[in-house]
């Protein structure tokens, strides 16, 4: 493929239907994300059956829009990349089947991309001259991991949550407080008007290694609200958010020191959180390394990160066979 090769990316692993065209793994020509929030909001969370059906309806118009905005037809593309896991199997299959069909019709390679690796590429897309290794704090709705990224494609797991993912904790606490779905942005908005010191919520395993735990925090929030039913949602949200941010930043700094990181990188939906971004950037300054923060739109699920990861993968590992399937439990490909 040429250096400026055009990759169409498709992302349908959860509740965003997304397509994007990226040139040379870096220049985003178009990125279209259609959220299914309205479909799932009434249920307070993603309903897998409904997600799959919504992807089926939305993918064709989303694809058409991404190609139109990029000003390119199928025959102008060099590859089609799609998320093959982890995610909801019914949703993954919609994107994977479409990507394979288009690759076949247009006579270009298909590339199956790991969603978590896609998140790691989101920051790379927007930053030049990254020095390796970087420590990536990958915080999404389904995953919370600290990873030493030694180079694109080389990941070493340093720590992970032992129970809930950080985004899951935001979603569960938001649901408990009746703040709506998705929980992360709702908590952040409420927290802006609250006192982060109103409640002394626990910072689990703060002095203990690189693994994390959030289920106790969620329980502490429930107990505190039952004890003080008059407490303001804003204060509870702000105190909860502060507890999550404190733990994530302390663990990231510890991981960066241990791994000799030359940069700190945020990835995944929770990376859109303002106070986390601010604290993370401050920690990087203290460590004397750059912070690579993806723009907010690039933190949450999108297809530009999938196209970027797909371009790198095609260049270095080659295309994915058309008979390869989707894997709902796929993990980051780890070394060591």
Minimum CB–partner distance for residue 138 and ligand KG4 (Å): 9
CB contact at 8 A, 56 and 46: no
**Closer to Zn ion at the Cβ: 188 or 301?**
301
Binding mask 98-137 for ligand KG4 (x = CB under 6 A): ----------------------------------------
CA pair distance 235, 241, nearest whole angstrom: 10
Nearest CA to 308 among 72, 64, 101, 111? 111
Site for ligand KG4 in 242-301 (CB under 6 A): 268-270, 272-273, 300-301
Smaller CB separation from ligand KG4, 268 or 319: 268
Tell me, letter by letter, the H, E, C secondary structure of 7-33.
EEEEECCCCEEEEEEEECCCEEEEEEE
Tokens encoding 69: 């905005």
Distance CA 187, CA 80 (A): 36
Q: What Rg do the C-alpha atoms of the chain give, in angstroms?
A: 20
Check binding of 301 to Zn ion (CB under 5 A).
yes
Stretch 143-182 residues interacting with ligand KG4 (CB under 6 A): 167, 170-171, 182
Closest CB to ligand KG4 among 101 and 162?
162
- Closer to ligand KG4 at the Cβ: 59 or 102? 59
In this complex, which beta carbon is closest to ligand KG4, that of residue 95 or of residue 141?
Answer: 141
Residue of 304, 279, 306, 307 lying closest to 293 (CA atoms):
279
Q: Does 140 bind Zn ion (CB under 5 A)?
A: yes
Run of H or E including 237: helix 233-259
Hey, how many other C-beta atoms are within 10 angstroms of the C-beta on 316?
Answer: 10
Site residues for Zn ion per CB under 5 A: 140, 301
Site residues for ligand KG4 per CB under 6 A: 14, 140-142, 167, 170-171, 182-185, 188, 268-270, 272-273, 300-301
């Amino acid at each position: 493929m040429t250096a400026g090769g055009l990759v169409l990316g498709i992302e349908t692993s959860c509740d965003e239907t997304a397509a994007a065209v990226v040139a040379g793994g870096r220049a985003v020509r178009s990125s279209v994300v259609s959220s299914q929030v309205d479909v799932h909001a009434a249920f307070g969370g993603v309903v897998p059956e409904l997600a799959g059906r919504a992807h089926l309806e939305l993918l064709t118009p989303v694809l058409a829009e991404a190609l139109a905005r990029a000003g390119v037809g199928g025959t102008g593309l060099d590859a089609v990349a799609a998320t093959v896991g982890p995610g909801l199997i019914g949703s993954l299959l919609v994107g994977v089947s479409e990507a394979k069909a288009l690759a076949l019709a247009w006579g270009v390679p298909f590339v199956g991309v790991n969603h978590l690796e896609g998140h790691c590429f989101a920051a790379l897309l927007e930053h030049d001259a990254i020095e390796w290794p970087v420590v990536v704090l990958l915080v999404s709705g389904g995953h919370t991991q600290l990873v030493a990224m030694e180079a694109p494609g080389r990941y070493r797991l340093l720590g992970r949550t032992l129970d809930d993912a950080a985004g899951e904790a935001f979603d569960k606490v938001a649901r408990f407080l009746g703040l709506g779905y998705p929980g992360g942005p709702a908590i952040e908005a409420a927290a802006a008007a609250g006192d982060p010191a109103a409640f002394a919520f626990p910072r689990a395993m703060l002095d203990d290694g690189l693994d994390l735990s959030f289920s106790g925090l969620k329980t502490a929030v429930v107990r505190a609200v039952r004890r003080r039913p008059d407490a303001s949602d804003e204060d509870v949200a702000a105190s909860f958010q502060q507890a999550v941010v404190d733990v994530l930043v302390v663990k990231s700094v510890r991981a960066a020191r241990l791994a000799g990181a030359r940069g700190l990188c945020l990835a995944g939906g929770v990376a859109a959180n303002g106070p986390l971004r601010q604290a993370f950037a401050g920690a990087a300054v203290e460590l004397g390394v750059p912070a690579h923060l993806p723009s907010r739109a690039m933190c949450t699920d999108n297809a530009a990160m999938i196209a970027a990861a797909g371009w790198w993968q095609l260049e270095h590992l080659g295309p994915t066979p058309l008979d390869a399937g989707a894997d709902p439990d796929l993990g980051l490909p780890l070394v060591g």
